[in-house]
Every structure is written in C-alpha cells, then in structure tokens.
Amino acid sequence: MFSGFMLNAWLAGSIVAIVAGVVGFFVVVRGTAFSAHALPLGAFPGAAAARLLGVDEFFGLIAFAGLGVLGIAALGRRNRHDVATALSLVTLLGLGALFLSLTQQYSQEVYALLFGEVLGVSNAELLPVAVLGGMAIVLTLAFFRPLLLSAVSAELAEAEGISAAAMELLFLGILGFATAVTVPVVGALLVFSLMVGPASAARSLTTRPGPAIALSVALALVTAWASIALSYVTDWPVGFFVGALGAAWYALGRIVVRRVGEVRAPVVQ
C-alpha cells in the first residue's frame, strides 16, 4: 500500500487535501459553494482541449479555470452571482463536449477527468500539483484578513479600504488555481465534496478562523487518506469514498448546527 505507484497517490492526495481544506474554508464562509462546484466542471474541458492540441493538460485546466473566473466576475456585475456562474458553466461545458468529440478520447480518459485518477498520478504530474497547490495556499494566506473581512462584512471591509469586488475576483482566482490542482487527482465532480464537506464541518465546530482552517485541512486529509486506503483494500473507486466521506462530514456539520444553534460569523482579528 505504501510502495511503487501508491507513493505518488499518497503524496498527490495529501497535497490536494491540504489545498481543498484551506480554500474550502473560504468557500463555506463566503457562500460560494456553487462556484466551487462550477469551476472544476468548467475547467475539465480545458484538459480535453489540451489533449486535442497535444500539450500538458495542466495548461488547459489553468486556461479554462481562468476563463471561468473571468466569466463569473464579468457577468456577475450585471446579473445575480448564481446566474453568472451558471451561464459561465454551461458555456464551458458546451465547449468541453465539442473538444471531447474531436479528440475521440476513450471512455476511461473521460472518466478520469470527471472522477479523478489518484492511483494513476505519475512523477511528472506531482511537481505541477505541488506548485499550483502552493500558489493557491500562499495567495490565501497572504490575503487572509481581507478575504475574511470582505466575506463577514462587506461594509466594514469597504470602510477599511478593501474592495469587495477585488476580493471576489482574487478569491475566484485562488479557486481557479485550486481547481487546476484537484481536477486531475479527484476529478471535476468530486472537488466539491472534498472542499465543502470537511470545511463545513470545521466551520460548524469552531468560529475561530485559524482552528477552523486547521480542522478543515485535517478532515480533508482524513478523507483523502481513508479513501485511498479503502479503495486499495476493496478495489472500489476512490471517488466513491471521497464523495461518501465528504457527505458524512457535511452531515456532521448540520447535526452540530441543529444541536448548538445557528453558526456564528467567524471572529476577525
């Protein structure tokens, strides 16, 4: 379980879990779960486009994640944010259908784009995953307070000279980096589970941002490690366990909320 190709699976899974835990906290606090679901789905056609052009799929993922970010940000200025996200998503998915038909990919390769292929991560793929993941975490920590303040109170953020629109665009960019990291490993359809499930449970258990992020990362790591181990033992898809455990963490968070009352806003220091 800890030798050969499995070592890459553990390393990639750990990197993705850390990124998802950190970024997922802000996804929950900012109420952008739809964007966290839409951007990975909108980015996966980028991998198909990259294969069509014969280039590394990470370039395609970054490019299409960027298109999704710009589309949501631009359309969101004139429409409701969820409408802008939906319009961007369906446009990118339409392009994805076209690219997949042109590349004539095998069903297994399409399946990997949607549900991930953590057990097939190569040595060459580890470096891009680590670099993009590191960039997402560094940007999140560098703008930690402005991102949190603009999420908790846009009025207070504006009073301190923090542009809510700029923070929204910045966070969407961070989410785009996180998407490029996570899609090749856990797939476009399961990024949502890994980001939202652990983070929502952590958010329900503590109102302090630091401990909440640490707990979110810990739960995401448990999810990734348990999913890999259970997949190895049962020969069931890793994606099944990621989705099931993500749902379990979310359910735990809702149970806690029902018992202790409404979740309070995070403490901004």
CATH of the domain at 64: 1.10.3470.10
Counting residues of the chain whose pLDDT is more than 70, the rounded percentage is 83
Does 265 fall in a domain?
Answer: no
In angstroms, the CA 157 to CA 237 distance is 44
pLDDT digits 0-9 by tens, 103-138 = 665 555 666 666 667 776 777 778 888 888 888 899
Give the model's pLDDT for residue 32: 78
Give the model's pLDDT for residue 183: 78
Give the model's pLDDT for residue 19: 92
Confidence check: pLDDT of 94 > 80: no
Three-state SS string across the chain, please?
A: CCCCHHHHHHHHHHHHHHHHHHHHHHHHHHCCHHHHHHHHHHHHHHHHHHHHHCCCHHHHHHHHHHHHHHHHHHHHCCCCHHHHHHHHHHHHHHHHHHHHHHHCCCHHHHHHHHHCCHHHCCHHHHHHHHHHHHHHHHHHHHCHHHHHHHHHCHHHHHHCCCCHHHHHHHHHHHHHHHHHHHHHHHCCCCHHHHHHHHHHHHHHHCCCHHHHHHHHHHHHHHHHHHHHHHHHHHCCCHHHHHHHHHHHHHHHHHHHHHHHCCCCCCCCC
Question: Among residues 5, 23, 223, which one has the least CA distance to residue 134?
Answer: 23
Give the model's pLDDT for residue 199: 92
Tokens of 174: 């961070």
Does 122 fall in a domain?
Answer: yes
Does 133 fall in a domain?
Answer: yes
Does 235 fall in a domain?
Answer: yes
Question: Among residues 1, 12, 5, 3, which one has the least CA distance to residue 126?
Answer: 12
Domain around 9: 5-260
Give the model's pLDDT for residue 263: 56
Comparing 207 with 101, which gets the higher pLDDT? 207
Does 220 fall in a domain?
Answer: yes
Does 267 fall in a domain?
Answer: no
For residue 194, which amino acid is it?
L
pLDDT digits 0-9 by tens, 176-206 = 888 877 877 777 767 888 888 999 899 888 8
Give the model's pLDDT for residue 109: 63
Please answer whether residues 196 and 223 qualify as being in contact, where contact means their C-beta atoms are separated by less than 8 angstroms: no
pLDDT digits 0-9 by tens, 201-248 = 998 888 888 899 999 999 999 999 999 899 888 888 888 888 899 889
Whole-model pTM over 0.95: no
Q: What is the mean pLDDT of the chain?
A: 80
Does 171 fall in a domain?
Answer: yes
Number of independent structural domains in the chain: 1
Does 268 fall in a domain?
Answer: no
